[in-house]
Amino acid sequence: MPSMDGPREYVDLGRVSPETAAELARLIQRSMRRAYRTVDSLRAVFEARGLAVPGLAVWDGRIDLGDVSIETADRLACLLGAPPQPGSRMELSEWSEAHEVVDRLGDAFKTATRGGFLDLLFHPDCLRCDALAAVRLGSIPVKSARRLATAIESGGRP
């Protein structure tokens, strides 16, 4: 049995029988089942609400929400109970308006998921690579993702 004392990226299993390898794969699959079901549920909720969240995936035991447009982030914030963007509908890809959307989404997410944390990062328009402005939603625990799906379905109520 390998020592688990220090930080390791890999554990050398040595030579294992095909039966042992199959059992290990089965156990890993079973332990990840809840995460994959949660991603499927989130994807269905996002699609039902017309939200484009193309980067939704399971990564390292967490739910990675990926990047979304500023408009999608704004709609998600509203679905989670945030008040609409104050003032007129200005260009949301502008720096200050986009940061207001990010702040509103972070607060609404925390409320809707009963304390969950969303590590948001705003990426402005890039003149070099011609990419549109986006918000990186980051990854969240499966428990927060389940609460997020429930909150969207119930109109922002936790």
Go through 115-130 and write b for each residue having 16 or more CB atoms within 10 A of its CB, e for each that does not. ebebebebeeeeeeee
How many residues can be counted in the chain?
158
pLDDT in tens, 53-88: 999 999 888 999 999 999 999 999 999 999 887 654
Q: Where are the domains of the chain?
A: 18-153
Its pTM stands at 0.79
pLDDT bracket for residue 2 (50, 70, 90):
very low
When mean pLDDT is compared across 80-84, 108-112, 142-146, the lowest value belongs to 80-84
Contact 47, 79 (CB under 8 A): no
Q: How far is CA 128 from CA 22, 58, 125, 132, in A?
A: 47, 30, 9, 11
- pLDDT for the residue 158: 55
